[in-house]
Chain A
């Protein structure tokens, strides 16, 4: 139940949980930090250390989720962090998964061609849906949130917002990632429970481990969206709307 603090050494974070490597990356923190503490690294990278700690602790301990304290940070910080995780899925994790799945399936016997193709298609459909989902957030949702936060910071009232911003509300943002989660779970079960093991097992294990890793990251990501970002933007929207009635 240990929690990382400002005085924790960054190297200890990584020793405790190797899964935090990509999280550090999203804050532009590279390895080779010697014995520097969280506070020291955050200062040198101009990262908000409290935000960094809450993100790292929530990632490290899936039971820990400091909803209240995370609500205090600007939604720009949260959006930037989520954007970085999007890039990581598209540029790093998905290409790695592509290679691992290809390698795994290429070991399978030719007479199983029928379901090899089905699995390939299943995976590529999943990947396409995930990318569509990400692009929608990047193109429609995140710019909207940035505008709202900007208006809030500048004291602008809801009436003065551009029409395309007023036409959108965070309430219409799809809160459900369930369809995507379902498919990922299906893929895991198919491989773990049902696929006859006539493949090279280490290539299969590598693919599965990467898939579990993606799943953990997606859960963390969705948790931040649903529990932090959406409630936070709802709050900003209602403050902006109150400004109309007061003015």
Chain B
């Protein structure tokens, strides 16, 4: 998926600070942005698989475990701490950096964009064109052959067939055999007459 889907969640106990921060981030990131006063409120929501948190520094250290648990369905999560006093961060797995409550809008947006673009570059690095070998495998899948039959026919292991299939599905965004068959016909990889629709 080249489009990077994410939410920004602001957690701060002081309303003026969270609303102000929300305003700044909302203008840049729109409806992906949310704000809350406590982490309990997160339970009523279901967020994207990718979450960038802006959290009050003390609050994060006090409730780190609960916050991470509430966001347990998220595959990727990063935290930017909101500081009242400048100082060093304890660097750990989730912390990306920090902002100070008196930072400029630009400083705040820069760190948010840095964090998000790092992640989205990784996501976009997939090449979407099928290799010749993958086309060959796809042709056999479309004709209704099982993994074992494809492996025997092409003199490769079942394991290799499965890993090719995974890559094909990931590249094309099509999972079902009948869907893959349609792709193969549209792209002249196989004749419609050879297809066994499952």
Chain A interfacial positions (CB closer than 8 Å to B): 1, 62-68, 114-115, 117-119, 121-122, 125, 182-183, 185-187, 189-190, 193-196, 223
The reply to whether A63 and B178 contact each other, CB–CB distance below 8 Å, is: no
Contacts of B44 in A (CB 8 A): 64-68
State A64–B41 Cα separation when bound (angstroms).
10
Question: Which among B77-85, B159-167, B180-188 touches the partner chain?
Answer: B180-188
Within 8 A of A (CB), among B168-198: 172-176, 178-179, 181-183, 185-187, 192, 195, 197
The reply to whether A114 and B192 contact each other, CB–CB distance below 8 Å, is: yes
- In the complex, the chain B residue whose C-beta lies closest to that of A182 is B175
Which of A119, A186, A190, A195: most chain B Cβ within 10 A? Answer: A186
State A185–B34 Cα separation when bound (angstroms).
28
State A114–B190 Cα separation when bound (angstroms).
11
The reply to whether A125 and B178 contact each other, CB–CB distance below 8 Å, is: yes
The reply to whether B176 and A186 contact each other, CB–CB distance below 8 Å, is: yes
Contacts of A125 in B (CB 8 A): 178, 197
0/1 string, B133-145, CB within 8 A of A gives 1: 0000000000000
Contacts of A114 in B (CB 8 A): 185, 192
Within 8 A of A (CB), among B16-37: 34-35
The reply to whether B186 and A196 contact each other, CB–CB distance below 8 Å, is: yes
19 A-B residue pairs with CB within 8 Å: A1-B34, A64-B44, A65-B45, A117-B192, A118-B178, A118-B181, A118-B192, A119-B182, A121-B178, A122-B178, A125-B197, A186-B173, A186-B179, A189-B172, A189-B174, A193-B172, A194-B182, A194-B186, A196-B186
The reply to whether A194 and B46 contact each other, CB–CB distance below 8 Å, is: no
Chain B interface category by residue count: 20 to 34
Contacts of A185 in B (CB 8 A): 173, 175
- In the complex, the chain A residue whose C-beta lies closest to that of B183 is A194
State A1–B34 Cα separation when bound (angstroms).
8
Q: Answer whether residue B101 sits at the interface, using C-beta atoms and an 8 A cutoff.
A: no
Contacts of A223 in B (CB 8 A): 46
With A63-B7, A63-B47 known as contacts, the answer to whether A122 contacts B185 (CB < 8 A) is: no
Q: Answer whether residue B43 sits at the interface, using C-beta atoms and an 8 A cutoff.
A: yes
Contacts of B178 in A (CB 8 A): 118, 121-122, 125, 186
Q: How far is the CB of A234 from chain B (nearest CB, A)?
A: 19
- Across the A-B interface, give the 6 residue pairs with the lowest CB-CB distance, nearest first: A186-B179, A114-B192, A189-B173, A63-B45, A182-B175, A66-B44
From the candidates A64, A118, A186, name the one contacting B197 in the complex (CB within 8 A).
A118
With A63-B34, A186-B176 known as contacts, the answer to whether A195 contacts B186 (CB < 8 A) is: yes
Q: How far is the CB of A98 from chain B (nearest CB, A)?
A: 18
Contacts of A190 in B (CB 8 A): 174, 179, 182-183, 186
The reply to whether A118 and B185 contact each other, CB–CB distance below 8 Å, is: yes
Contacts of B195 in A (CB 8 A): 118
The reply to whether B175 and A193 contact each other, CB–CB distance below 8 Å, is: no
- In the complex, the chain B residue whose C-beta lies closest to that of A192 is B173
The reply to whether A115 and B185 contact each other, CB–CB distance below 8 Å, is: yes
State A66–B45 Cα separation when bound (angstroms).
7
The reply to whether B176 and A63 contact each other, CB–CB distance below 8 Å, is: no
The reply to whether B192 and A62 contact each other, CB–CB distance below 8 Å, is: no
